[in-house]
């Protein structure tokens, strides 16, 4: 792969990262960052598995943004980028058992335990509004 192609890909992907980080969601880019943040996160933690696919752009990220308008919110907001930060994503997915890897997906954890999970197939077939409603229901229950 040429350096210019890699630069092009980084330039293309940065806005997809920014869409979440601009909401105050912390990017975990290495397995070490995942380990330092997820297992010991006290209270609730939202983890968005971001991706380049159309359903991430059309439904997942906008749904997360809408859900973050809710009164009750998770204590911690994290994201990993599938296909880009592969090792960090693999490490984060260790906490989402028994769910198989899927991206995009959205996890809600409470005191290090998975309490709610939205898989890719639950994102592809629903609108951003429906995903936001699913998340706000989970926020109201667990946060």
Q: Which residues are catalytic?
A: 53, 55
Identify whether the C-beta of residue 20 lies closer than 8 Å to the C-beta of residue 79: yes
Rounded CA-CA distance 56/20 in Å is 11
Rounded CA-CA distance 66/98 in Å is 27
Identify whether the C-beta of residue 37 lies closer than 8 Å to the C-beta of residue 28: yes
CA distances from 135 to 59, 81, 89, 96, 143 (A): 12, 19, 21, 16, 11
């Amino acid at each position: 792969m040429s350096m210019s192609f890699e630069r092009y890909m980084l330039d293309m992907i940065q806005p997809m990262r920014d869409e979440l980080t601009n909401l105050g969601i912390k990017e975990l880019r290495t397995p070490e960052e995942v380990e330092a943040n997820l297992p010991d996160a006290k209270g609730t933690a939202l983890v968005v598995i971001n991706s380049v696919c159309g359903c991430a752009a059309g439904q997942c990220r906008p749904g997360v943004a809408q859900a973050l308008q809710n009164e009750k919110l998770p204590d911690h907001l994290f994201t990993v980028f599938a296909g880009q930060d592969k090792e960090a994503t693999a490490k984060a997915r260790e906490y989402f058992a028994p769910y198989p890897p899927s991206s995009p997906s959205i996890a809600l954890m409470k005191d290090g335990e998975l309490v709610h999970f939205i898989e890719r197939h639950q994102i592809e077939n629903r609108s951003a509004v429906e995903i936001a409603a699913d998340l706000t229901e989970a926020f109201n229950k667990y946060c």
